[in-house]
Amino acid sequence: MDVLARNNVNISGNLSGKTIIFSHGFGCDQNMWRFVVPAFADEYRIVLFDHVGYGGSDLASHSPERHSSLDGYARDLLEICRELDIEQAVFVGHSVAAMIGILAEIEEPERFERLVLVGPSPCYIDDGDYVGGFSRQDVEELLESLESNYLGWSGAMAPAIMGNPDRPELGEELTNSFCRTDPAIARRFARATFLSDNRGDLPRVRARALVLQCSEDVIAPRQVGEYVHRMIPRSELVLMKATGHCPNLSAPEETVDAIRSFLRS
């Protein structure tokens, strides 16, 4: 299948401008960027896409072999870049997509000039002095719950991931997004996400990077953002006032301001 159709690629904005690619996290789709994208449309060519298995992507293109690791999603991203002849782009990745972007940048660094990493985590499991936010048992229980009752898991986890309990409509939107996903695909992506360990890849990043860290985040706590910043050679860290794991929805203005400042620096 055509790469652009496979990943439901949509191009908008200033078609003669530098390219900025927005990549969504687990259980979401490109619609999660709708409050952020308009701020960059006048200056940048906007590329939005859905990871295979999500949103308007081609479900039949999902491969249990290829998409059982983040490397498979990074390959998808690079195929989009080749198809669109993208070089020196800005990549904005939310949550697990931040690591997908890092893997792609390491493989073909000429494609990416800057990386914006929103709530990144290279490893979710605590390991010695490293604080990932979860114990191994926590992750195993999370995956077991997801695999036994995906809809129930989504209803419980999505509001916690979103945070901002005073704005329940945000948690409801994320819950609905999770529930639209094929459970088998969600299980596979969850394992690829929560059992990944990309700490060793961080020092290999050559692009300039911005780490956006929310002040309270149950998925990627502050120590994780600080670790990512320390380990990526040319990185900046912004500690946001926003809470939760999805500032692209809960605090789009603060997210836009931080990205814009980084791109103009």
What are the 10-residue block averages of pLDDT along the chain, 265 residues in total? Answer: 94 97 95 97 98 95 95 98 98 98 98 98 97 95 91 88 91 88 91 96 98 95 98 98 96 98 95
For the chain, domains (ranges, CATH) are 3-122+198-264 (3.40.50.1820)
Catalytic residue among 121, 196, 217, 235: 217
Its pTM surpasses 0.85: yes
Q: Are 18 and 44 in contact (CB under 8 A)?
A: yes
In the structure encoding, which two tokens stand for residue 232, read together?
């990526």
CA distance 202 to 148: 34
Q: How far apart are CA 233 and CA 203, in angstroms?
A: 6
Nearest to 96 by CA among 130, 127, 123, 61: 123
Q: Are the CB atoms for 19 and 11 separated by under 8 Å?
A: no
Give yes or no: 95 in active site: yes
- pLDDT at position 181, please? 87
| Residue with tokens 């980084």, as numbered in its chain | 262
SS3 75: helix
Of 57, 67, 76, 95, which residue is the catalytic one?
95
Tell me whether residue 67 is one of the annotated catalytic residues: no
pLDDT of the residue at 157: 87
